[in-house]
């Protein structure tokens, strides 16, 4: 149950009894109604949004052919990172002892 162990559930139950007392069944029913209404609304929203088109790897149009795929594979918008070559700074001319 929500990743809770038996000890955590017992503590939550004791706290709920202390907070709500004799009204605990009424409060539990009310929260159950709110939760079921929330789940129903969430399911309604999910059914209205068709996420399969967004997450599918294949395009939605049926006119997708092998040649159009090959043409799109030829184009590569990735530019390899380049940096200038490291050149150490020129050293100052040194006078050689005679």
Is 39 within the bounds of a domain? yes
> Which residue is listed with tokens 């088109």?
53
pLDDT tens across 53-68, in order?
Answer: 566 655 555 555 555 5
Is 42 within the bounds of a domain? yes
Domain coverage including residue 32: 22-49
pTM for the whole structure: 0.41
Averaged pLDDT for residues 36-61 = 75
Structural domain count of the chain: 1
Closest by Cα among 41, 43, 40, 60 to 52: 60
Is 59 within the bounds of a domain? no
Radius of gyration of the chain (CA): 34
Is 30 within the bounds of a domain? yes
Is 82 within the bounds of a domain? no
> Which residue is listed with tokens 């907070």?
19
Is 37 within the bounds of a domain? yes
Is 63 within the bounds of a domain? no
pLDDT tens across 67-94, in order?
Answer: 555 555 565 666 777 877 888 888 877 7
């Amino acid at each position: 149950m929500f990743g809770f162990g038996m000890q955590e559930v017992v503590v939550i139950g004791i706290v709920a009894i202390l907070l709500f007392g004799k009204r605990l069944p009424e409060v539990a029913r009310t929260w159950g109604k709110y939760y079921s209404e929330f789940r129903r609304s969430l399911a309604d929203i999910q059914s209205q949004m068709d996420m399969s088109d967004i997450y599918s790897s294949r395009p939605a149009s049926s006119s997708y052919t092998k040649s159009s795929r090959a043409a799109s594979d030829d184009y590569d918008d990735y530019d390899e990172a380049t940096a200038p070559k490291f050149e150490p700074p020129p050293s100052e001319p040194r006078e050689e002892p005679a």
